[in-house]
Structure 1
């Protein structure tokens, strides 16, 4: 298991996207820090479906900024952490592998499992001979006089499989970690936020998070996030949030109408979230479609 820094959760960043690979960390983020993310990996026994997914957990960029800023997590450069092994390391690894295989007990194809006693072995052989006799009688009834009889299989020919443990004392993984966003930004691993709009989103996201809300991606509902009063597994979202990056930004009436109609159609209220960079304050306005007459 990967070593953590001061109990923080590692966020593995690849191509400007952060992932969480530990089940324990995913549970901690959800239960303790009300950060859900989205599972994006396929399940081993259901790899052809895309409804119920598994690890890794992909985080929103606002979630990454929040977790690192609050000291809950740190960033790991996933690409730089996986070093290419040298020729000498590969030779040493192969030698260790040969030594591990040499220590395994040798077994021939006709050897018997050591866990079987004489009584169990006798019963097994009797059952196998009985099945072979029945199969042979069935085959003889289907063979015509001109066709040769199939050779009888020998009950002594038995094969057993065993697992070779994957042993290796070598590790070519060396985590490149960054505790702060400035460090990650300087190295080029992470760049969010880098525009006033993205800064406003991060500030509004943090303010809603501090109020105890859960947030999820709101792209399908025409906003930036869905805002839940509790865990999304237990509650429906109450708001579709859209961030207005400046208090002097113009909002067209047609946009307000669209927000209201869309929110009502999905049984939610549309939440306009404002961020004032000068005052360092957030403001919220809820839009609901009302009937006439």
Structure 2
């Protein structure tokens, strides 16, 4: 079970930014806390690049559903803002600022590269000195040898540079407090209540269930390590599932070794209730006849 605690000692709120109706997290530490502490799966929405495994991965920003964003804000661990300038089709860009930032990142990358290179040189400096002696060069000062080698690197030897861990172009003055709109339908309310219940009370991980014909897929542990346990379908007065649809979804769940849950709200009490749908071998034989 994941212990719900803030990863950062200063207890800084997770910052969520909404633009064009989409919620994003731009800060790497905020993403880590949302993922590891609050079990928010989301998805990366940034430019793609190769990691150390040579696999293509998307990068920041981290995209959340509005249900995930609403949950974090209601839980009191996140603040949400809109950034009106991001809604512009072609927002202005300060070219001097862009170039200055690019140069700064190159210098930072070079310094990090030199630190790593120094560690390598310190491990091999004796061999370098021995090689120089064979060529007739007498060198005794190891630090001098290391400095001479490091001086060869005047610029970062790779074309790639470090990624920003936050959006460099969003400043505090750009942020405007964002208010979530009211639920436009009972179905939206049911979906949020299910998400909140499985996260806060049952401690599950939830992802979208669209690929299995449901609203959510529920995992008892991290989806990277666990198989899904439930396919959850949300129902309201405007969305009633037919028996045929339920049977087909139940068959799919059984074939995938999962359980089918149908969630709804009681109209009298607004209580969230679940219906576990299962079929026995006898049911299959009866239907076949």
Give 1:261 deviation, angstroms: 0.9
- Give 5+ residue unaligned stretches, structure 2: 1-9, 104-127, 137-151, 157-167
Residue number in structure 2 paired with 1:181: 179
Which of 36, 44, 49 pairs up with 1:43?
A: 49
Q: Which has the higher contact order (CA 8 A, sep 6+)?
A: 1
Q: Quick check: 1:162 aligned with 2:154?
A: yes
- Where 2:49 maps in the other structure, the secondary structure is coil
Q: Quick check: 1:284 aligned with 2:288?
A: no
Deviation by residue 1:222-244 (Cα, 9 ceiling, x = unmatched): 10110111222222111011111
What is the alpha-carbon distance in structure 2 between the residues aligned to residue 162 and residue 32 of structure 1? 42
What is the alpha-carbon distance in structure 2 between the residues aligned to residue 26 and residue 173 of structure 1? 17
Give 1:221 deviation, angstroms: 0.9
RMSD: 4.0
**Count of residue pairs brought into register by the alignment:** 220
- Where 2:228 maps in the other structure, the secondary structure is coil
What is the alpha-carbon distance in structure 1 between the residues aligned to residue 273 and residue 200 of structure 2? 14
Q: Quick check: 1:270 aligned with 2:260?
A: yes
Report matched runs for 1:132-211 at 5 Å.
162-163=154-155, 173-175=170-172, 176-177=174-175, 181-182=179-180, 185=181, 193-211=183-201
User: Does the aligned pair in 1 maintain the 2:82–2:177 contact within 8 Å?
Assistant: no
Give 1:256 deviation, angstroms: 1.3
User: 1:38/1:249 Cα in 2 relative to 1: closer, same or farther (>3 Å)?
Assistant: closer
Q: Quick check: 1:58 aligned with 2:96?
A: no
Structure with bigger helix share is 2
Report matched runs for 1:206-285 at 5 Å.
206-211=196-201, 212-246=203-237, 250-276=240-266, 278-285=268-275
Report matched runs for 1:60-139 at 5 Å.
60-78=65-83, 80=85, 84=92
User: 1:173/1:22 Cα in 2 relative to 1: closer, same or farther (>3 Å)?
Assistant: closer
Deviation by residue 1:198-242 (Cα, 9 ceiling, x = unmatched): 122112211222221110111111101101112222221110111
- Where 1:227 maps in the other structure, the secondary structure is strand
- Give 5+ residue unaligned stretches, structure 1: 98-118, 128-159, 165-170, 186-191
- Where 1:181 maps in the other structure, the secondary structure is coil
Give 1:14 deviation, angstroms: 2.6
Report matched runs for 1:2-13 at 5 Å.
7-13=12-18
User: 1:277/1:17 Cα in 2 relative to 1: closer, same or farther (>3 Å)?
Assistant: farther
